[in-house]
């Protein structure tokens, strides 16, 4: 039986206590706990909700009971949702009618939770009574309706729409024959899901969430409660509200820059069993048999995360050198020194170590996840750095790899080439900083880097990466306006704009595409409505050189002025001061918006000689 | 739950949490007509919460909002929970 908190109001005084409230709900997401936390949502939102978002929920079933869970999960991720829940079954009218609650509210994201059993019931409850052709007609008609509604909405709004896919039935219509038959229920529903994927490719900014995968993972037999389904059109059992809400939010995070980026791991009893300082290199548990194989399996799961773009680091309390020795010499290690962007081994507390890692990597501490087996270390981390997501490993190492699988905070909608080699990029970054430590003056340091910058104008293969950068870059970003791939493609193909992407290589390797700008090419005045750069490149004069290149192009084209805006946010402090360094003048302010400009007639300062420039 | 909590305290605390009222107001006089948070949707939440907290399963007909605190208590009693 769940534990019931007799004190309905926990004291919420700071971010750490707010997160403790949410973690307590997550530990036992009962209706009572969800409601108790929901009652304090305003106080929680003031401390945790840093990204306000108007979220609309459209559904074929009663979705209101999920609202509190969605909002609480959102806060844990950093969202402050203003949630609109449309009456059940009204999704088509809401999408089509210009005066619907959905359209009137100007949503910034839409969850479209349609269950196929609600809209095409024959495919589920009387499949054997219809012919394959009739089944095809039913699906054809449904996709025509859905496509029409979505296209109509798309003409009005570019907000991302996240649709859930269709679930397999609890019991297949043809019984054991269903798995193999050519016109089985399973194959019909798989076809429906393939058509849904196709729709998401045809209509911009439409995403498919694997709801069927979630139901299968959690427990298909107990996912629905027939009592609430039949009585109130609430199909999902109340015990799963929390899980379903988390599923929706994890799909929203990457669209609004709220996915985590870095996983910091403890070493002893996390990467291997035992304490290296006590048992030595040959005494730690790591190998073919339990418990050593549990740690090997865990490391493989971590490596797999890394290979889709998650940056790894180590924070371990140990004698300096000991952890490094295991990384270099232990034959069973899956993870090696090259996989870690930073390794902190000392007897100092771990929260400052994480801060150091964040500084080294130029990443916000709120994009960090910390994993440790020690409840003491985890507790200290939660209290000192509540913005870090702290995950305590279970007592039994057999459960370690499941802790990795349960993380839904690193999600990205697309995995780019840059993601696959991100680890190398950050590893090289550490090499560059070491070089910086031995070089005396900065120009000498810049020269030793042998930097080569390549600029691409309206280069269509960069559409995905450009959009991704607008969604992920929070720090060196003039105003953190997010762009979809479609937005970027539009800028690239009209006559007025340039989308300039910039790639950088140096003696340590290829950094890939690390910055972008949108340029509005006027006659007298060129404007820069979007300018951003990956933080790991900052401080090497690349950012100034990039803006100077744009200014020079404007001057060559006969432009007299360059204009750009800066809108300070909670995260883009690294950008402040940048325009001034580049010689721009703060012309005026309007609200939060600072307008900066440069007079091009006076000439443009050249790009420093330590950067080679090529244009593609 | 604090293991010292009686079924009666627990019952009050569940009703208070779901209907968003103070525990003191949870008396036999509290009826759906008197609290605007006791709507049909919240009544379903209420039944769900009682099931979760007392580890019981109630019949679908109890989702109907024609109920009162004494009716809920006797419903629990039928399932061996005395509050």
pLDDT reported for residue A350 = 95
- Label residue A329 by pLDDT band (50, 70, 90): very high
Partner-chain contact A8 B49, CB within 8 Å = no
- Label residue B2 by pLDDT band (50, 70, 90): very low
All residues of chain A having their beta carbon less than 8 Å from the beta carbon of residue B49 are 30-32, 35, 238
Contact residues, chain A to chain B, C-beta under 8 Å: 1-6, 8, 30-33, 35-36, 39, 62, 64-65, 227-228, 230-232, 234, 238-239
Partner-chain contact A232 B40, CB within 8 Å = yes
Partner-chain contact B45 A65, CB within 8 Å = yes
Partner-chain contact B60 A230, CB within 8 Å = yes
Q: What is the dihedral of CA A419, A424, A425, A428, to 10 degrees?
A: 170
pLDDT reported for residue A358 = 95
pLDDT reported for residue A615 = 93
Q: What tens digit of pLDDT does each residue of A395-404 get?
A: 999 999 999 9
Omega before A291 cis (within 30°)? yes
| pLDDT above 80 (res A535) | no
Contact residues, chain B to chain A, C-beta under 8 Å: 1-2, 5, 9-10, 13-14, 16-18, 20, 23, 40-41, 44-45, 48-49, 52-55, 59-60, 63-64
**Average pLDDT of chain A, as a whole number:** 92
Sorted by where each starts, the structural domains of chain A and their CATH numbers stand as: 1-48 (no CATH), 51-256 (3.40.50.1110), 262-405 (3.40.50.1000), 419-615 (3.40.630.30)
- Label residue A7 by pLDDT band (50, 70, 90): very low
Which residue has 């339990």 as its token pair?
A290
- Label residue A10 by pLDDT band (50, 70, 90): low
Which DSSP category does A182 fall into?
T
Burial category of A601 from C-beta neighbours within 10 Å (exposed 0-12, middle 13-18, buried 19 and up): exposed
User: CA nearest A460: which of A435, A443, A478, A485?
Assistant: A485
Judge contact between A2 and A368, C-beta under 8 A.
no
Give the DSSP per-residue string, A336-367. -GGGEEEEEEESS-HHHHHHHHHHHHT--GGG
Give the list of residues 6+ apart from residue A289 with CB closer than 8 angstroms, or none. none
The Cα A58–Cα A56 span in angstroms is 6
- How far does B54 lie from chain A, in Å, by closest CA? 7
Which residue has 């507390």 as its token pair?
A349
Best residue of A24, A35, A233, A240 to probe chain B, by most B CBs closer than 10 Å: A35
Q: What is the ipTM metric for this complex?
A: 0.94
| pLDDT above 70 (res A209) | yes
Question: Coil, strand or helix: which one is A320?
Answer: coil
pLDDT reported for residue A576 = 86
What chain B residue is nearest to A3 in terms of C-alpha separation? Answer: B1
pLDDT reported for residue A8 = 46
Best residue of A3, A4, A7, A67 to probe chain B, by most B CBs closer than 10 Å: A4
| pLDDT above 60 (res A439) | no
Partner-chain contact A238 B52, CB within 8 Å = yes
pLDDT reported for residue A6 = 44
The Cα A158–Cα A91 span in angstroms is 17
- How far does B22 lie from chain A, in Å, by closest CA? 9
Least confident among A40-49, A337-346, A598-607:
A598-607
Phi first, then psi, for residue B77 (nearest 5°) are -60, -40
Q: What tens digit of pLDDT does each residue of A461-478 get?
A: 999 999 988 988 888 899
Partner-chain contact B14 A32, CB within 8 Å = yes
3-state secondary structure A213-252: HHHHHHCHHHHECHHHHHHHCCCECHHHHHHHHHHHHHHH
All residues of chain B having their beta carbon less than 8 Å from the beta carbon of residue A238 are 45, 48-49, 52
Least confident among A85-94, A323-332, A433-442:
A433-442
| pLDDT above 50 (res B1) | no
Q: What tens digit of pLDDT does each residue of A569-611 get?
A: 877 888 888 998 888 999 999 888 999 999 998 888 889 999 9
User: CA nearest B32: which of B51, B15, B53?
Assistant: B15
Pairing of strands A509-521, A497-506: antiparallel
| pLDDT above 80 (res B82) | yes
All residues of chain A having their beta carbon less than 8 Å from the beta carbon of residue B52 are 2, 30-32, 238-239
pTM: 0.77
All residues of chain B having their beta carbon less than 8 Å from the beta carbon of residue A230 are 60
pLDDT reported for residue A416 = 78
What do you get for the CA distance between the two ends of chain B, in Å?
15
All residues of chain A having their beta carbon less than 8 Å from the beta carbon of residue B1 are 1-6
The Cα B45–Cα A27 span in angstroms is 19
Length of chain A: 616
- Label residue A506 by pLDDT band (50, 70, 90): confident
The Cα A444–Cα A441 span in angstroms is 6
What chain B residue is nearest to A39 in terms of C-alpha separation? Answer: B20
Judge contact between A195 and A145, C-beta under 8 A.
no
| pLDDT above 80 (res B43) | yes
Phi first, then psi, for residue A57 (nearest 5°) are -115, 115
Helix or strand holding residue A52 (H, E): strand A51-59
How many Cβ atoms sit within 10 Å of the Cβ of residue A422?
21
Question: Coil, strand or helix: which one is A585?
Answer: strand
pLDDT reported for residue A189 = 97
| pLDDT above 90 (res B65) | no
Q: What tens digit of pLDDT does each residue of A142-194 get?
A: 999 999 999 999 999 999 999 999 999 999 999 999 998 889 999 999 999 99
The Cα A485–Cα B46 span in angstroms is 45
Best residue of B11, B26, B45, B57 to probe chain A, by most A CBs closer than 10 Å: B45
pLDDT reported for residue A186 = 96
């Amino acid at each position: 039986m769940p534990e019931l908190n007799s004190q309905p109001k926990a004291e919420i005084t700071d971010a750490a206590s707010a997160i403790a409230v949410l973690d307590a709900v997550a530990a036992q997401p009962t209706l009572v706990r969800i409601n108790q936390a929901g009652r304090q949502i305003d106080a929680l939102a003031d401390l945790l909700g840093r990204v306000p978002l108007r979220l609309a929920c459209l559904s074929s079933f009663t979705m209101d009971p999920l609202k509190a869970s969605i909002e609480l999960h959102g806060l844990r991720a950093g969202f402050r949702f203003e949630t609109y829940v449309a009456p059940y079954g009204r999704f088509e009218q809401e999408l089509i009618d210009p005066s619907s609650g959905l359209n009137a509210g100007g949503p910034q994201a839409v969850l479209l939770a349609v269950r196929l059993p609600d809209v095409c019931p024959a495919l589920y409850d009387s499949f054997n009574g219809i012919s394959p052709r009739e089944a095809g007609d039913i699906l054809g008609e449904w996709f025509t309706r859905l496509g029409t509604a979505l296209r109509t909405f798309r003409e009005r709004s570019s907000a991302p729409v996240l649709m859930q896919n269709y679930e397999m039935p609890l019991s297949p219509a043809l019984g054991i024959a269903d798995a193999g038959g050519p016109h089985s229920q399973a194959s019909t529903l798989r076809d429906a899901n393939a058509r849904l994927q196709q729709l998401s490719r045809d209509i911009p900014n439409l995403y498919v969430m694997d709801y069927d995968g979630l139901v299968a993972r959690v427990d298909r037999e107990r996912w629905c409660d027939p009592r609430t389904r039949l009585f109130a059109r609430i199909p999902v059992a109340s015990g799963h509200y929390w899980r379903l809400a988390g599923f929706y939010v994890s799909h929203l995070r990457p669209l609004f820059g709220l996915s985590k980026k870095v996983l910091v791991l403890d070493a002893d009893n996390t990467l291997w069993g035992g304490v290296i300082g006590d048992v030595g290199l040959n005494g730690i548990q790591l190998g073919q048999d339990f418990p050593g194989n549990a740690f090997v399996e865990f490391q493989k799961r971590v490596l797999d995360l890394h290979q889709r773009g998650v940056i790894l680091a180590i924070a371990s309390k140990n004698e300096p050198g000991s952890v490094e020795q295991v990384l270099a010499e232990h034959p069973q290690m899956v993870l090696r020194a090259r996989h870690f962007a930073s390794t902190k081994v000392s007897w100092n507390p771990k929260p400052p170590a994480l801060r150091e890692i964040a500084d080294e990597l130029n990443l916000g501490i709120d994009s960090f996840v910390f994993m440790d087996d020690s409840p003491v270390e985890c507790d200290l981390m939660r209290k000192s750095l509540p913005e870090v997501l702290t995950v305590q490993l279970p007592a039994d190492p057999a459960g370690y790899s499941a802790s990795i699988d349960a993380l839904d905070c690193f999600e990205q909608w697309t995995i780019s080439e840059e993601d696959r080699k991100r680890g190398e990029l950050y590893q090289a970054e550490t090499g560059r900083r070491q070089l910086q430590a031995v070089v005396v003056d900065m120009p000498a340091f810049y020269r030793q880097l042998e930097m080569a910058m390549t600029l691409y104008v309206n280069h269509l293969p960069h559409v995905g990466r450009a959009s991704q950068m607008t969604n992920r870059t929070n720090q060196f970003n003039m105003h953190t306006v997010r762009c979809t791939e479609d937005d970027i493609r539009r800028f690239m193909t009209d006559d007025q704009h340039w989308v300039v992407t910039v790639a950088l290589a140096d003696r340590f390797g290829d950094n890939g595409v690390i910055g972008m700008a949108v340029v509005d090419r006027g006659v007298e005045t060129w404007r820069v409505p979007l300018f951003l750069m990956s933080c790991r490149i900052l401080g090497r004069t690349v950012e100034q050189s990039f803006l100077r290149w744009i200014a020079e192009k404007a001057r060559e084209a006969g432009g007299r002025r360059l204009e750009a805006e800066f809108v300070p946010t909670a995260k883009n402090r690294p950008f402040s001061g940048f325009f001034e360094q580049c010689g721009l003048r703060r012309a005026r302010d309007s609200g939060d918006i600072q307008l900066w400009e440069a007079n091009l007639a006076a000439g443009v300062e050249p790009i420093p000689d330590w950067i080679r420039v090529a244009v593609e | 739950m604090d293991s010292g909590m009686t079924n009666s305290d627990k019952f009050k605390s569940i009703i208070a949490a779901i209907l968003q009222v103070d525990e003191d107001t949870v008396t036999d006089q509290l009826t759906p007509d008197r609290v605007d948070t006791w709507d049909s949707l919240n009544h379903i939440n209420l039944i769900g919460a009682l099931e979760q907290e007392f580890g019981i399963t109630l019949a679908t007909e109890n989702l109907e909002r024609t109920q009162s605190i004494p009716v809920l208590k006797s419903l629990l009693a039928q399932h061996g929970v005395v509050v």
